[in-house]
Chain A
Amino acid sequence: MDIAIKDGKIVEKVNVKKAEVIDASGMILMPGGVDIHCHIAGAEVNSGRLLRPEDHFKDVEVKTALTRSGVGYSIPSTFTTGYRYSRMGYTTVMNPSMPPLEARHTHEELDDTPMVDKATYPLLGDWWFVLEHLRDGLIQECAAHVAWMMSATKGYAIKIVNPGGLEAWGFGRNVENLDDPVPHFNITPREILRGLCKVNKLLNMPHTIHVHTNNLGRPGNYLTALETMKCVEDLAEEGRPAIHITHCQFCAFKGSDWRSMSSGAEEIAKYVNHHDHVTLDMGQVIFTDTTTMTADGPFQYGLYNLTGNKWVNHDVETETSSGIVPFRYKRKSAVHATQWSIGLELALLIKDPWKIYMTTDHPNGGPFTAYPKIIAWLISRVARKKTMNKISKRARQKSLLPSIDRELSFYEIAIVTRAGQAKALNLAQKGHLGIGADADVAVYNVNPEQVDPSKKYKTVRKAFKRAAYTIKGGEIVVKDGQIVKPVFGKTFWVNVKTLLPMEVNEDLRLKFREYWTVEYENYPIPDSFLHAPAPIPVKAEV
């Protein structure tokens, strides 16, 4: 079948005589890749870059006539990030963690990330206004404030990380479970999650609340993940997702300590298979030296205690926190190998590929350049077995993978790497090749009719590593894994139109100096700040 492109969109047909023709016969055609969760821009990512010159000096990108120079490996510089995504056929990436006070920084970096369309999620789960409003039961006021924040920071979705835990970390503490009250604020994580879920609905946000659960990285935390999914079950509308649990591998641990730690993927998969209000992404681990960075300050401090590696902490007033620790996942470590297994188990045990997406929570589980490797594991039992033979024996014995025969088809890969993510984000023009879609297309040099992915996973891996063609907005930007035309994408953000904008402004203005150390007028990002803004108007019910 043929795909016709005109003016950056997919159309019914074009005049073949006047058009540029790409012969993709014998290759796979997919919509451009969509990554729902990758830390590529902003304060925490940049602190990570600064922290690790030793991560950069062996992985460099030389300047060419068309491209800027840069460095990798686990936290590439901005230009390198854009080029490397594009070379793999990706065209849309979402930066999941933006401290609202430093939103300008995130957008400056996104503007310097070429080749892809992007968006970012402001961290709102510990914002004092959210905590106070929800504690007092003022859902409408909370929604109005969140709407203001979305516009002020040019954000796309409500991001929640360790709800309540980050405020507790302001004084060095944490929350233990969903009903553990946040010190000084008298509200529980459960109330924060439910409250923001309701707010999300009232504002008609395109994406659901995007949640990094409490108790991340602790043995036994699969129960917290299940509780988190259950606590908003009753708020879901028929058949539509109400919550997205991100990098689920990190919250799927069974066991009571590191010795007894094992996979909770089966229980989580069982729940997800029977409920339609949840979407997840994998957070797959690769055996490599990478960098962990999240807004979960207390968790990152815990990682420092575990490893003794260098540790960066950055608490943001009134809003959130963050932490960075370099981390090496070792094949022979029973815990790390179990983590590797968990990510794949989740992807394979959850039957509907529209519910679970492929990510590494870049760079937490590994750099995004490892995606082709993960695709190989998903499509081939043999690939999994080969890696299994090299990992810790204890982990191999505990792993569920040997009993899983399932291999994802190319069609399912397209869902977990693009279509599913676009749908969860409600980006109507992304993730598909129907008429009216943005002309973001990836062509991979592997023939699905001749190549058996199960056996020839190495061929598939190679093909997905260097796209034969990447087309962005109707232009050929990558050919044979090389950038042939540098372009810059747009930044999506949700422009929420509430019914009463003025009241919110007054309330915030009065309280601003009390809460923050910056002036009210200097906080919101003006529309002109972004190089290529693409606001998505949304009408709220508040």
Chain B
Amino acid sequence: MLQPQSQLRQRFNILITLYPKRSFRVPVEAECISPDVFAEKPVKHIAMLQIWEGNRKRNLEDLFKIKHETKSSSEKSIIRICGDVSKVRKIGAKMSMGNIIVEGDAGMHLGEEMNGGGITVTGNADSWTGSMMKNGTIEVKGNAGDYIGASYRGSNQGMSGGKIIIHGNAGYEVGCFMRKGLIKVHGDIGLFAGIHMRNGTIFIQGNSGGRAGAQMINGKIVVCGYIPSILPTFTIDDIRPKVEVNGEKIEGPFYRFVGDLADGGDGKLFVSKTKNPHLSSYEQYL
């Protein structure tokens, strides 16, 4: 499937670095910042790509300083963004190849509907990161907002593949209507992790704000930290010594709950036994 031109590009690594020229106040919509869009374009065309700042149409070069480097490497094309782009939305939207590295904070809708390639953020990411994602990897070193890997309003088509890794904390309704794929949060997570989940895996190393797995139909949620309570529509199934997440074995022991029974669901919620002594009353049902 690789065409001669891309093979050529593989030998000469296309590396574009974008430096925001100033701080942004009104939202900037930058779905043009994507390896798919930059592919096979000379820099002067990339500079003229259309980008929105509020209700004004701008060119990419109006808002970003663009530096172009060609290095010999076996890596695919990379876009680097250096600076605070927390107001810049839709970076990497619909991308299917290549890499984006954000050295700073990234805005909403990062990697939305992504179909391949990878995005790395050294700072924080905002809400709707990886929403409706189909494939690829997003890694956020800092915190992330709400609705990670979620669907659009009214739709039940959330993330259907790929991986999202958040090293910091994540917000509310992470994995809403998720269908497949993996979300890993090393820090804490807000309420309603995995709400309306159809399938997939959410792994939380830290604490959960509560109501994890609400209205889930299937899938797996693992909470290694503290959770204040379990929803009354979940029932305790077993105590497991370990649980498997993406090929890795996580040490327990875990209470395994099944639910959400109100929705006829058969999802599995694993909750750390040692971090949640207040849940020991459930053991009487085993």
Interface residues of A (CB under 8 A from B): 51-55, 57, 310
Contact = CB atoms under 8 A, between A and B. Distances in A.
A51 B154 CA distance: 7
A168 to B, nearest CB: 29
Nearest to B157: A54
B155 interface: yes
Top 5 A-B pairs ranked by shortest CB distance?
A: A54-B155, A54-B154, A53-B154, A53-B153, A54-B152
Interface string B145-159: 000000111110100
Contacts of B153: 53-54
Interface residues of B, number: 6
A518 to B, nearest CB: 31
Contacts of A51: 154
A446 B90 CA distance: 43
Interface in B155-171: 155, 157
15 contacts: A51-B154, A52-B154, A53-B152, A53-B153, A53-B154, A53-B155, A54-B151, A54-B152, A54-B153, A54-B154, A54-B155, A54-B157, A55-B154, A57-B152, A310-B154
A55 B154 CA distance: 9
Interface of B: 151-155, 157
Given A53-B153, A54-B152, A54-B157, 12 more contacts: A51-B154, A52-B154, A53-B152, A53-B154, A53-B155, A54-B151, A54-B153, A54-B154, A54-B155, A55-B154, A57-B152, A310-B154
A51 B156 CA distance: 13
Nearest to A56: B154
A310 B154 CA distance: 9
**B contact face: mostly helix, strand, loop, or mixed:** loop
Contacts of B157: 54
Nearest to A310: B154
Contacts of A55: 154
A47 to B, nearest CB: 13
A221 to B, nearest CB: 30
A52 B155 CA distance: 8
Contacts of B154: 51-55, 310
B50 to A, nearest CB: 13
A57 B155 CA distance: 11
A51 B157 CA distance: 15
A55 B151 CA distance: 13
Nearest to A326: B154
Contacts of A54: 151-155, 157
A52 B154 CA distance: 6
A54 B152 CA distance: 7
A51 B153 CA distance: 10
B212 to A, nearest CB: 23
Contacts of A52: 154
Contacts of B152: 53-54, 57
B156 to A, nearest CB: 9
A57 B128 CA distance: 16
Nearest to B155: A54
Contacts of B155: 53-54
A55 B157 CA distance: 12
Nearest to B264: A308
A55 B155 CA distance: 9
A310 B151 CA distance: 15
A57 B113 CA distance: 13
A342 B147 CA distance: 44
A310 B177 CA distance: 14
Contacts of A57: 152
A54 B154 CA distance: 6
Nearest to B153: A53
A50 to B, nearest CB: 9
A55 B153 CA distance: 10
A53 B157 CA distance: 13
A309 to B, nearest CB: 9
A57 B151 CA distance: 12
B194 to A, nearest CB: 19
B45 to A, nearest CB: 23
A50 B151 CA distance: 17
A363 to B, nearest CB: 16
B269 to A, nearest CB: 22
A143 B121 CA distance: 72
Most buried by A among B152, B154, B155: B154
A404 to B, nearest CB: 38
A314 to B, nearest CB: 18
Contacts of B151: 54
Contacts of A53: 152-155
B29 to A, nearest CB: 14
A219 to B, nearest CB: 26
B112 to A, nearest CB: 11
Nearest to A57: B152
A194 to B, nearest CB: 43
A54 B155 CA distance: 6
A55 to B, nearest CB: 8
A53 B152 CA distance: 8
Most buried by B among A52, A53, A54, A55: A54
B131 to A, nearest CB: 12
B251 to A, nearest CB: 38
A63 to B, nearest CB: 11
A307 to B, nearest CB: 12
A310 B153 CA distance: 13
A404 B52 CA distance: 54
Nearest to A54: B155
B100 to A, nearest CB: 23
A65 to B, nearest CB: 15
A50 B162 CA distance: 31
Nearest to A55: B154
Nearest to B152: A54
A337 to B, nearest CB: 24
A310 B156 CA distance: 10
A436 B237 CA distance: 79
B197 to A, nearest CB: 16
Nearest to B151: A54
A190 B153 CA distance: 44
B191 to A, nearest CB: 23
A188 to B, nearest CB: 39
Contacts of A310: 154
A54 B153 CA distance: 6
A46 B152 CA distance: 20
A72 to B, nearest CB: 15
A51 to B, nearest CB: 7
A55 B156 CA distance: 12
A421 B157 CA distance: 40
A455 B151 CA distance: 43
A234 B154 CA distance: 49
A393 to B, nearest CB: 28
A57 B154 CA distance: 11
Nearest to A51: B154
A51 B151 CA distance: 15
Most buried by A among B151, B153, B157: B153
A445 B155 CA distance: 39
A410 to B, nearest CB: 41
Nearest to A58: B152
B73 to A, nearest CB: 37
A359 B221 CA distance: 48
